[in-house]
Amino acid sequence: MSKFIIQVNGSVYGSSASFRALAFCQSILANGHDIITVFFYQDGVTNSNALTCPASDEIDMHAKWQRFAQQHKVPLTNCVSAALRRGVLSQQEAVENGKKHWNSDETFTMGGLGELVVGIEKADRLISF
Amino acid sequence: MKSVAIVFRHAPFGATSGREGLDLAMLSASFEQQVSLIFTDEAVLHLLGGQTPEQAGAKDYLSALKALPLYDIDTVLVCSDSMQQLGLKASELNIEAEVVSADVITKTLQAVDEVLVF
Amino acid sequence: MILILHHIQTSVTTDNALATCLRFIHPSDSIILAGDAVNCLLQMPWQQRLASVNVFILQDDVHARGLQQHIETIATRMSPEFFHIIDYSSFVEQSLKHNKVITW
């Protein structure tokens, strides 16, 4: 069994990188390997935006990541500074920054870049999308 | 500890990848990872002196490049093909960096544990 | 020997990821084309540039674009030992067979 860390830089909508990252993650688990965390960086942090409302016949990457994480207990980690710059806030960041609204739910943990660095150190493989 | 190479291949200011790559480079170094930086294609423009990022609506993240030695990031490689293509000379670079052939960069990509491209 | 899997996801007409990767690739390395990157195979100059490289192509992205027949025809012009259409499971396997994956 190998340990993977996955970095997602592609946004929730407008790029297909996040879709491929999820398919790759599903395949990692199907092949009996482990995912340390899926780390969302750059525009990838928008995948945690719970306010995305695609039409019912369109793919909903936020919901897909959420379901994947819950089903397989895979940690999803947002880079908090990349998220804040792009208007992706959890309740805690909203309070700390004096904002009335937030859009990132608890399926995605806000963390620092340090978690990516530590994850890379522990992992057998890093793959970015 | 792992050795990590961060490759910059996009021009400054047009996208935020340079800034976000540099953030990761400095953070990795502060977590005691061995970090090398590689600048190629239009990303070599990050290294020119006399830039005013504010005039392009960007934060002045370039001044952080001057602080690389403080983070023990001593290996900064610049692709000579890219420099030549853009008509730049090594003397125009604003920080300590080595202008190297593609072959040297290939060897570096092979030698390190992980490579992240921005 | 260190083997690198170079991961290309973007079209050669909008991004020079593949061109940059080819400048630094080692002869023992491989490339995986995913997303819009698979489209480059339709162009003769890119077929020629990739002819001597071990190339993997993500099957779902070929099928999604309706390019199976085109890619099969192109495959007959490439050396079979260097040209592989693979699924996600083999992508995972190849990522482990190589020593690292560089996403350009």
Per domain, the residue ranges of chain A are 3-51+59-128
Mark whether A53 is an active-site residue: no
For the segment B34-60, the average pLDDT, to the nearest whole number, is 95
Question: Taking CB atoms and an 8 Å limit, are B31 and A120 in contact across chains?
Answer: no
Strands C4-8 and C100-103: parallel
Question: Taking CB atoms and an 8 Å limit, are A128 and B4 in contact across chains?
Answer: no
**Number of Cβ atoms within 10 Å of the Cβ of B96:** 11
Considering only CB atoms, B114 lies closest to which of A114, A118, A120, namely A120
d(CA A45, CA A47) in angstroms, rounded, equals: 5
The strand pairing partners of A39, in sequence order, are A7, A77
Q: Does domain B3-117 have CATH number 3.50.50.60?
A: no
pLDDT of residue B61: 87
Query: How does DSSP classify residue A9?
Result: -
CATH code of C14's domain: 3.40.1260.10
Fold classified for A3-51+59-128: Hypothetical Protein Ychn; Chain: A, (3.40.1260)
Q: What is the pTM of this model?
A: 0.97
For the question of an ipTM over 0.90, the answer is yes
Confidence of residue B55 (pLDDT cuts 50, 70, 90): very high
Confidence of residue B23 (pLDDT cuts 50, 70, 90): very high
Q: What are the φ and ψ backbone dihedral angles of B5, each rounded to 5 degrees?
A: -110, 130
Domain count, chain C: 1
Q: Number of A to B CB contacts under 8 A, please give it.
A: 33
Walking along chain A (129 residues) 10 residues at a time, the average pLDDT comes out as 98 97 98 98 98 96 98 98 97 96 95 96 98
- Structural tokens at position C57: 């192509």
Please report the residues numbered 9 through 68 in chain C whose beta carbons come closer than 8 angstroms to any beta carbon of chain A: 9, 34-36, 58, 60-61
Q: Which residue of C has its CA nearest to B80?
A: C23
Q: How far is CA B17 from the centre of its chain?
A: 11
Confidence of residue B95 (pLDDT cuts 50, 70, 90): very high
Which one of the listed residues A8, A28, A61, A79 is annotated catalytic?
A79
d(CA B86, CA B14) in angstroms, rounded, equals: 17
pLDDT of residue C47: 97
Residues B58-76 pLDDT 10s: 888 888 999 999 999 999 9
Query: Could you tell me what percentage of chain B is helix, strand and coil, using 3-state DSSP and rounding each to the nearest 5?
Result: 45, 20, 30
More confident residue, C42 or B61: C42
Q: CB–CB of B68/B95 below 8 Å?
A: yes
Residue with structure tokens 């340990």? A3
For the segment C49-72, the average pLDDT, to the nearest whole number, is 97
